[in-house]
């Protein structure tokens, strides 16, 4: 769905994006993570045709954003919540976008209701809270009923109720087979929401894959349940791994595939073998060397 | 293109900025036209007719500022981001703004002329025959002023700076050029527009109306082309 190939963006003295390559699978919710200044927003803006890449390319369904016919029908984007004329009403803001996108005005009213701004649509955006502006951004992104949503820190400014609303909405959106590419600094929220993550640091890709795989890789160990747990621990120790036993459960620093191999080699029955997952936040900090995330 | 034009027109209609421009233009013209009636009561010569008709040219300044706001206002408020997400073909966005700013400026000029005529024809016997070239020149100059404002707005990006720089140039900059060289000053943007609305054949300080019109059109084309070049290459 999204393909980024050897993407680079240089400003005068700094390199914001440095040879970035990754893909976002159709029908997935993919998180886009990186510390402050990692190049996430620049990458998203290049993808959306707002910033010019120095080299490389970022495409949506094989096309650059500018080449998409009726882009709002393909891609909905939620960027900063401050991009509004403070004196224009929320409804007029959406009408203005709808006119350019050739979307009927009734869709504007439907969306205002959908995002919970039905009663505030006539008010000037300058009187909106940050959360209300984020909801208006989501409404704007949905005008053309797109199959792909690109969101840059959409939870910023949302209260807990708003965050829950956004999470439920994105899950429903993705459940229909649509694609979500979302950058966020709320890692706990991302772990609950996304299928895959792309992690960048200093403009370079440092990890890409399913959340479960990344968290397991960061932890590096496994949890095992076996009626022969003690025998398995002995085999692990003999192979140079540590393991702690608790009844029929064993926790070890050995990777799951090595545990499986040792169990098979020693004819040990396993009832459960799972990668010992750490939190996404811990995995992230380990991958980025503990840099501040944003 | 028509969808982008409709959207640009909605942007103008849904904020009060342009209403204030219209009211400001009307207020200044009322003051000037009523002053003519109150002080003279009668217009004697053809030159006087043209001079009084040129009061309506005040609308050109508001048209220019309107053009700057149409373009730079979007960049200042950041709404250009969402505009470009819906219409990523930047040439289309800028040319739609040129068209809308030209129309708004033309509307302001038409209102200004109607006001001047409504006050000075009965109040001071303004001769329409003598002033028609001026009135025509203002109607030609108005869309050019709006378009030039859009081009300039795309270059400066900030609407406050754009308005400030343009007024300082018109009030001070062109006078400095005049002091330095009268022959060069005739071709500056402000003087070119002044020539276009002069209704006269040219003088030591101004080009003739036709040559002024060509110079004003060239300046407009240069600013729109420069604005487009900057807008196409700039990250938003």
Whole-number Å distance between alpha carbons of B70 and B100: 8
Shortest CB distance from A100 goes to which of B7, B78, B235? B7
The confidence score (pLDDT) of residue B28 equals: 94
What percentage of chain B's residues is helix, strand, coil (to nearest 5)? 85, 0, 15
For chain B, say whether A71 makes contact (Cβ under 8 Å): yes
Nearest to B79 among A50, A83, A99 (CB): A83
Q: Where do the domains of chain A lie?
A: 2-208, 215-281
Structure tokens of A88?
């224009």
Q: Binning pLDDT at 50, 70 and 90, where does residue A95 land?
A: very high
Inform me whether the pLDDT recorded for A294 exceeds 60: no
User: What is the pLDDT at residue B42?
Assistant: 67
Is the CB of B166 inside 8 Å of chain A's CB atoms? no
* pLDDT per residue of chain B (236 residues) written in tens, 0 to 9: 689 999 999 999 999 888 898 899 999 999 998 888 888 666 778 888 898 999 999 999 999 999 999 999 999 999 999 999 999 999 999 999 999 999 999 999 999 999 999 988 887 888 889 899 999 999 999 999 999 999 999 999 999 999 999 999 999 999 999 999 988 999 999 999 999 999 888 888 899 999 999 999 999 999 999 999 999 999 98
| Residue the block writes with tokens 């968290």 | A215
Write down the pLDDT at residue B163. 95
Residue range A215-281 in CATH 2.40.50: no
Interface of B with A in 36-75 (CB under 8 A): 73
Q: Which CATH class name applies to A2-208?
A: alpha beta
The DSSP bridge pattern shows strands A148-152 and A75-78 to be: parallel
Name chain B contacts of A79, Cβ cutoff 8 Å: 81, 85
Q: What is the model's pTM?
A: 0.84
- Between CA A139 and CA A111 the distance in angstroms is 5
- To the nearest whole angstrom, how far is the Cα of B160 from the nearest Cα of chain A? 15
Long-range contacts of the stretch A265-268 (C-beta < 8 A, 24+): A265/A235, A266/A231, A266/A232, A266/A235, A268/A226, A268/A228, A268/A231, A268/A232, A268/A235
Q: Look at phi and psi of residue A289 and say left if phi exceeds 0, alpha if psi is from -120 to 50, else beta.
A: left
Residues of B in contact with A84 (CB under 8 A): 77-79
CB-count exposure of residue B215 (10 Å: 0-12, 13-18, 19+): buried
d(CA A55, nearest CA chain B) in Å: 14
Residue A287's pLDDT band, with cuts at 50, 70 and 90, is confident
Which chain B residues are closer than 8 Å to A140 by Cβ?
82
Q: What distance in Å separates the CA atoms of residue B236 and residue A50, rounded to the nearest whole number? A: 5
Whether chain A has a CB inside 8 Å of the CB on B235: the answer is yes
Distances (CA, A) of A131 to A123, A137, A153, A154, A165: 15, 10, 12, 9, 11
C-alpha B112, offset from chain centre: 12
Name the token pair of A280.
Answer: 């996404």
Residue pLDDT, tens place only, A30-66: 999 988 888 999 999 999 999 999 999 999 999 999 9
More confident residue, B116 or A212: B116
Positive or negative, the Cα torsion across A176, A182, A188, A194? positive
Residue bearing tokens 């840099």? A291
Chain A residues whose beta carbon lies within 8 Å of the beta carbon of residue B79: 83-85, 93
Of A49, A68, A99, the CB nearest to B84: A49
Within 8 A of A48 by CB-CB distance, chain B residues are 85
């Amino acid at each position: 769905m999204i393909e980024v190939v050897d993407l680079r963006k240089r400003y005068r003295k700094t390199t914001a994006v440095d040879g970035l390559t990754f893909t976002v699978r159709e029908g997935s919710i993919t998180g886009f993570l990186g510390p402050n200044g990692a190049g996430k927003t620049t990458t998203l803006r290049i993808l959306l045709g707002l910033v010019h890449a120095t080299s490389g390319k970022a495409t949506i369904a094989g096309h650059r954003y500018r080449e998409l016919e009726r882009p709002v029908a393909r891609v909905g984007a939620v960027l900063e919540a401050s991009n509004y004329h403070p004196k224009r009403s929320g409804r007029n803001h959406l009408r203005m976008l709808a006119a350019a996108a050739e979307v009927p005005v009734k869709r504007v009213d439907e969306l205002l209701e959908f995002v919970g701004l039905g009663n505030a649509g006539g008010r000037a955006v300058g009187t909106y809270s940050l959360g209300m502006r984020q909801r208006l951004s989501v409404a704007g992104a949905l005008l053309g009923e797109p199959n792909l949503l690109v969101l840059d820190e959409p939870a910023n400014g949302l209260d807990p109720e708003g965050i829950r609303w956004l999470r439920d909405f994105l899950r429903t959106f993705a459940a229909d087979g649509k694609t979500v590419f979302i950058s966020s600094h709320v890692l706990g929220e991302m772990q609950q929401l996304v299928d895959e993550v792309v992690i960048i640091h200093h403009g370079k890709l440092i990890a890409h894959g399913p959340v479960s795989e990344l968290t397991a890789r960061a932890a590096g160990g496994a949890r095992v349940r076996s009626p022969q747990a003690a025998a398995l621990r002995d085999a692990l120790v003999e192979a140079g791994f540590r393991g702690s036993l608790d009844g029929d459960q064993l926790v070890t620093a050995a990777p799951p595939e090595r545990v499986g191999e040792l169990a098979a080699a020693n004819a040990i029955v396993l009832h459960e073998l799972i990668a010992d997952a750490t939190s996404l936040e811990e995995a992230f900090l380990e991958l980025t060397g503990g840099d501040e995330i944003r | 293109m028509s969808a982008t034009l409709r959207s640009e027109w909605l942007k103008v209609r849904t904020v009060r900025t342009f209403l204030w421009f219209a009211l400001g233009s009307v207020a200044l013209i009322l003051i000037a036209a009523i002053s003519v009636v109150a002080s003279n009561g009668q217009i004697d010569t053809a030159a006087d007719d043209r001079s009084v008709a040129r009061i309506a040219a005040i609308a050109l300044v508001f048209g220019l500022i309107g053009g700057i706001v149409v373009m730079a206002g979007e960049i200042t408020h950041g709404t250009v981001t969402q505009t470009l997400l819906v219409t990523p073909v930047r040439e289309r966005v800028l040319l739609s703004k040129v068209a809308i700013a030209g129309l708004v400026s033309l509307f302001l000029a038409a209102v200004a002329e109607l006001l001047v005529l409504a006050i000075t024809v009965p109040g001071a016997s303004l001769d329409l025959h003598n002033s028609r070239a001026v009135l025509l020149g203002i109607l030609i100059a108005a869309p050019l002023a709006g378009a030039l404002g859009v081009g300039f707005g795309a270059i400066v990006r900030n609407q406050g700076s754009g308005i400030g720089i343009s007024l300082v140039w018109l009030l001070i900059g062109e006078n400095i050029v005049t002091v330095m060289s009268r022959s060069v000053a005739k071709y500056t943007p402000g003087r070119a527009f002044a020539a276009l609305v002069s209704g006269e054949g040219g003088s030591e300080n101004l080009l003739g109306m036709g040559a002024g019109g060509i110079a004003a059109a060239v300046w407009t084309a240069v600013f729109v082309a420069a604005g487009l070049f900057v807008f196409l290459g700039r990250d938003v």
